Amino acid sequence: MRLIGWILGLVLMLGGAAEAAAKPAITDARLGVEPGLTRVVISLTQRSDFKVFTLADPYRVVIDMSEVDWKVPSGAKLQGQGLVAGMRYGLFKAGTSRVVLDLMEPSEVARAEFVAPANGEPLRLLVDLRPVPDTQFRAQLKSNTVAYRAIAAIAPVTKPAARTLTTSSGSGAGTGALGGSAAKQPTEEPKRGKPLIVIDPGHGGIDPGAIGSTINEKQLTLAVAKALKKELEDTGKFRVLLTRSRDVYIPLRERFGLAREKGAELFISLHADSHNNPLTRGASVYTLSEKASDAESEALAAKENKSDIIAGVDLSKQSNVVSNILIDLAQRDTKNMSTRFASLLVRELKEQTMLLGNTHRFAGFAVLKAPDVPSVLVEMGYISSSKDEALLSSSGHQKKLARAVRQAVENYFSWQELVRRS
């Protein structure tokens, strides 16, 4: 009986510890409008460390919290009201969840604090916004302060404190908080010798990408990236790294920066598109060019390049070297290699899926701007097409796409070997 009692006590103790260590959960997020004020209301199961700051160009308010569980649709964009044009939320980096408010006009944070549960309402984080002139908004950024230091409003908690908010050494405009640097992925360093392929699952975390009726782009790209990684590693010929291995946002410059840092010989960015015309469907392959091959490619590049803005990344401190990498700085050999791989990839994709007309296209995708790593961006189909979405949601079709890319990679390196020998 003593043994049974001891075991029961241990189980209860462990269960209580697990409950105490559980992350806070956000159960609701909504907006309210009063004259001259817009209120953001976020319902949580327990308190979380948080910081609130503003970003310009475009006007945004960002709320960073220690990592929480999302009990509302992850990555969904709420209908705007008042000063808020739209609202997004998701995992920004390991240990940090983020809410981004797109503003209709420059605004200040007039209030940011927790309100205790009362009258059937759960614990809530309230953030009040008031309109201000553009000059005042930008002065706030230049002084690296915000009107309200939200972190100071957190009252002592009786439960063990949630995980402390991880901060970046980079500066965030008007915050002193996170500078938009994504956490290093705990990826095992590949052994040297074999060619290194970096696979980039597009979007992630707070940025869902294209949204379909059954799947989001960020989910699809990660699933295919993992399948492709396995395909390549199973050949025994390649080393493979993913820019992200879970649902987290990675800034665009860090994606191709990883490929350069690790000495990758090929960079493949995976995406899925959406279109106003639901009949538009098919896969396509893009390589970098200063001049887009057509207006649609130019529009697509502009849309994809907004990912950092969507995720609430501060681009104001980004150096001209990074943000304006000129095409003529890219090695001629790198561009030729990218084009060669793209042509091999189109040939293999043609055997496995429907292709968009003029399949190999050119545009100024920011994620392809590594000047010394051959790079392509693959749009695997259109989530806005019911037929494409059904295929892309199928694990069988995802594996077909992965096999096609793997075969193109093998053909590419076989071609390189022939060139070297000749």
DSSP for 166-183, please give it.
Answer: P--SS--TTTSS--SPPP
Is 12 among the domain residues?
no
How many domains does the structure of the chain reveal?
2
Mean pLDDT score, 98-116: 89
Say whether both 298 and 414 belong to one domain: yes
Mean pLDDT score, 270-283: 93
Asked if residue 325 has pLDDT above 90, the reply is no
| CATH number, domain containing residue 201 | 3.40.630.40
Considering 153, 177, 208, which residue would you say is the last residue of a domain?
Answer: 153
Percent of the chain topping pLDDT 90: 36
According to DSSP, the residues that pair with 287 across neighbouring strands are: 362
What is d(CA 140, CA 131) in angstroms, rounded to the nearest whole number?
A: 13
Half-sphere exposure of 49 (CA within 13 A, CB side): 13
Which residues constitute the domain of residue 268? 196-421
Q: How far apart are the first and last CA of the chain?
A: 81
| Region class of 312: left (phi > 0), else alpha (psi between -120 and 50), else beta | left
Say whether both 104 and 244 belong to one domain: no
Mean pLDDT score, 226-249: 96
pLDDT at 164: 30
pLDDT in tens, 375-391: 999 999 999 999 999 99
Considering 153, 186, 209, which residue would you say is the last residue of a domain?
Answer: 153
Is 166 among the domain residues?
no
Say whether both 99 and 237 belong to one domain: no
pLDDT at 142: 65
Say whether both 328 and 224 belong to one domain: yes
Say whether both 302 and 406 belong to one domain: yes
Residue with tokens 């395909």: 231
Say whether both 125 and 203 belong to one domain: no
**Lowest pLDDT segment from 2-6, 48-52, 55-59:** 2-6
Write down the pTM of the prediction. Answer: 0.63
Say whether both 347 and 400 belong to one domain: yes
Is 65 among the domain residues?
yes
> Identity (one letter) of the amino acid at 399?
K
Q: SS3 helix, strand, coil % of the chain, rounded to 5?
A: 35, 30, 40
